A and B are shown apart, each in its own frame.
Chain A
Amino acid sequence: MAIRKKPNWKAPRIGAAELALLETLSNASGVSGNEAAIRRIVQEEINGLADDVVVDAVGNLLVTKKGRGQNLPRVMLAAHMDEVGFMITGDDGDGIFRIETVGGVDERTLAGKPVWVGEKRQPGVIGAKPVHLTTASERSSALTLDALRIDLGPASAKKARVGDWATFATEFTRVGPSLRGKALDDRLGVTTLITLLKHAPANIDLLAAFTVQEEIGLRGARVAGYAMKPDIAIALDCTPAMDLPRWDGSENTQYRSKLDGGPAIYVADGSTLADPRLVTHLQAVGDAYGIPYQLRQPGSGGTDAGAIHKTRDGVPSISVSVPARYLHTPAAIARLDDWKNSLALLHAALTHIDRDLLKGAR
């Protein structure tokens, strides 16, 4: 069943409004378990767009946008609201606080960074011992959490407490053809999903799940998938582009995905074997519409699809990610073009979903 480009199809635009929304979302704090600020922004943005909006028991924002007609395929799109960050776990006094990471943050990127702590985003820094006072052998071992503290200053000793969340204080910016900011994983997906809700195709019931706690084990998606009971699920996420040259110039064969390669379609990751029918569908749509895409290198890692596809009696699932470098550090870099193509591919793919799609053998 070949896919032909619909003559009147137009990709939803990513313009100033969408970029501004991404910026707002990227700058906002929403570490796993504390996604309220992000949820508020999303809720405001989708106000009046949907047939049903629910905030569930764990904090997922579950939005239903019905298509035109009866018995339409129920297609769940999931984007996680949470980001990696920190939690204050100890108070050393005088405004000095111990932290633990939430989600997979590379501890080696912490030293020397400004942070925002707590609901009021109290500014602070993660310092490091002056280089003058270090020995060569000290400098040859990585700075681990044990040696790092958040410093809010003595006057702020009471302005944070154990249990508060903290994020990197990184401000979103555009650099040339690229987007740079914290939490692009997965505020890019969140913005894509909001945009898709605004341009929802009529041939499906669109079930938009803005999920929580993805970074600590796909925990929000698990209950969202159960509640939504979809026929098909697609996780919209960010995937690492580890496409830098190798130190010796030899071929980089483990790049996972590449910047400028277009949306990364998953075949297999650590959590999901994507439904082959959906892989074929997305590739066919990309080919028919002339939208570039890449197949994410199979390997480790996981997305909300990992939880959703195992809910109830199973959900055919796949993930589509925007490739981005330096995920889970204070700032990631993604290409605007890859984002635009991700949105276009998803939108086009949704318009071609019907109940026959899953009739063939898996």
Chain B
Amino acid sequence: MKEIIRQLVETTGPSGYESDVRALVKKMLKGQVDSMKVDALGNLITRKGKKSKDGLTVMLSAHMDEIGIIATHIDDNGFVRFTSVGGVFPRNTAGGRVRFLKTGQVGVIGMESHKNQSSVPGLEKMYIDVGASKRSDVKVSVGDVAAFDRPFEDLGTRLVSKAMDDRIGVAVLMEVMKQLKTTPHEVVGVFSTQEEVGTRGATTAAYGVDPDLGIALDVTLTGDTPNADTMAVSLGNGPAIKVKDGGMISDPRVVAWMEAGAKRARLPYQMEVLTGGTTDARSIQMTRAGVPVGCVSIPCRYVHSPSEMVDYGDVQNSVKLLLALLSKPVQLR
């Protein structure tokens, strides 16, 4: 599974420009699911299993997109000015590298003179140096999108890369779709788009799928690093069952079902209450007449930095938990 993760995270797909990731997922899932289709916003919708009498249509959603940047101006001296696609933290950018999708051109992020060391300048004070000595050498135009460039590193039990958010969810969902053999449900695996700009892909995918139950697979923050904000989630303690985040309250029946499932399967798990941020589950929940939702989170350190870190055990246990949950009828109570 590590090789799959490596391939996924090293593919680029900022929000709205997920086609390379989608092509890779499609290739890897070929012959492993009953059907695949792409909707108007580029969501890849895969299906496995038939809805039996006591089954449901269960939508699982993991987003393919990652944060990135988009060029806003090429200045007189050939520096590319840019803004974010999704939640890019200025503090994580200076000195980083990006690669433009269209041209493959690589650039280094630099910063204008900044005297006040205690504050972080905004992105409008930063620029991308593509190594051009004059404006005409720059092949980038306004509107060109780039992704952060950083290779995958296997640290043993821990894995590090850019775009772990949420390729690790994509990897988990792919494994679930592949390994799922018998299920009373119609399991719809949605590889969604535009999550980082406001869970937009999941909004339309959920409308199209019209599920009975929705589960998002995404990363969550941890509280296990030096002087971290308080959060009872740690790397390596198992998948996190989300109770609440900044934009969604999980259906308590779904939370109870997940918790019982994890216990029954003797899998480690932890309960998650996330102060900010949200996932595709928010959009699924408010679709049409409403959908009961939950979220299985993979704990991740340094989210929205070029070095997002997850625990391989958590990843494997997430797959196991979902397979255990989906192989049986669901009773929400």
Chain A positions within 8 Å of B, measured between CB atoms, are: 251, 253-255, 267-268, 273-274, 276, 279, 295, 297-299, 309-316, 358, 361-362
Most chain-B Cβ atoms within 10 A of its Cβ — which of A255, A299, A315, A316? A299
The one of B16, B197, B208 in contact with A314, judged by C-beta atoms closer than 8 angstroms, is: B208
Contact in complex: B38, A362 (CB < 8 Å): yes
B36 contacts partner chain A, Cβ-Cβ < 8 Å: no
Question: Residues of B contacting A297 with CB < 8 Å?
Answer: 72-73, 83, 142
Tell me the minimal C-beta distance from A181 to chain B in angstroms: 29
With A267-B70, A314-B204 as given contacts, are A295 and B142 in contact (CB-CB < 8 Å)? yes
14 new A-B contacts at CB < 8 Å, known A299-B72, A309-B200? A251-B76, A254-B72, A267-B143, A273-B15, A273-B16, A273-B85, A295-B141, A295-B142, A297-B73, A298-B71, A313-B39, A313-B208, A358-B40, A362-B42
Chain B positions within 8 Å of A, measured between CB atoms, are: 15-17, 19, 22-23, 38-43, 70-73, 75-76, 81, 83, 85, 124, 141-143, 194, 197, 200-201, 203-205, 207-208
10 interchain pairs, CB-CB under 8 A: A254-B81, A267-B142, A276-B16, A295-B141, A295-B142, A298-B72, A313-B208, A315-B40, A361-B23, A362-B41
Tell me the minimal C-beta distance from B14 to chain A in angstroms: 9
With A and B bound together, what is the CA distance between A83 and B105 in angstroms? 42
Closest to B283 in A: A310
Question: Residues of B contacting A361 with CB < 8 Å?
Answer: 19, 22-23, 38
With A and B bound together, what is the CA distance between A313 and B41 in angstroms? 8
Contact in complex: A254, B143 (CB < 8 Å): no
Most chain-A Cβ atoms within 10 A of its Cβ — which of B72, B201, B205, B208? B72
Contact in complex: B72, A273 (CB < 8 Å): no
Contact in complex: A310, B143 (CB < 8 Å): no
Question: Residues of A contacting B204 with CB < 8 Å?
Answer: 309-314
Contact in complex: B16, A312 (CB < 8 Å): no
Tell me the minimal C-beta distance from A119 to chain B in angstroms: 37
Question: Residues of A contacting B200 with CB < 8 Å?
Answer: 273, 309-310
Tell me the minimal C-beta distance from A286 to chain B in angstroms: 14
Closest to B143 in A: A267
With A and B bound together, what is the CA distance between A314 and B204 in angstroms? 5
Contact in complex: A314, B75 (CB < 8 Å): no
With A and B bound together, what is the CA distance between A224 and B202 in angstroms? 20
With A310-B204, A313-B40, A362-B38 as given contacts, are A298 and B194 in contact (CB-CB < 8 Å)? no
With A and B bound together, what is the CA distance between A276 and B194 in angstroms? 13
Tell me the minimal C-beta distance from A235 to chain B in angstroms: 16
Question: Residues of B contacting A362 with CB < 8 Å?
Answer: 19, 38, 40-42
Contact in complex: A273, B194 (CB < 8 Å): yes
With A253-B73, A299-B72 as given contacts, are A313 and B205 in contact (CB-CB < 8 Å)? yes
Tell me the minimal C-beta distance from A335 to chain B in angstroms: 20
Closest to B142 in A: A295
With A273-B194, A295-B142, A297-B142 as given contacts, are A312 and B70 in contact (CB-CB < 8 Å)? no
Contact in complex: A253, B203 (CB < 8 Å): no
Closest to B42 in A: A362
The one of A268, A279, A314 in contact with B39, judged by C-beta atoms closer than 8 angstroms, is: A314
Which 9 pairs of residues, A with B, have the shortest CB-CB distance? A273-B16, A314-B204, A313-B208, A267-B143, A314-B40, A314-B41, A297-B72, A362-B42, A298-B70
With A and B bound together, what is the CA distance between A274 and B41 in angstroms? 10
With A251-B75, A276-B16, A310-B200 as given contacts, are A268 and B70 in contact (CB-CB < 8 Å)? yes
With A and B bound together, what is the CA distance between A316 and B39 in angstroms? 10
Most chain-B Cβ atoms within 10 A of its Cβ — which of A251, A253, A254, A274? A253
With A253-B81, A314-B40 as given contacts, are A273 and B76 in contact (CB-CB < 8 Å)? no
Closest to A273 in B: B16
Question: Residues of B contacting A253 with CB < 8 Å?
Answer: 72-73, 75, 81, 124
Contact in complex: A254, B73 (CB < 8 Å): yes
Closest to B77 in A: A251
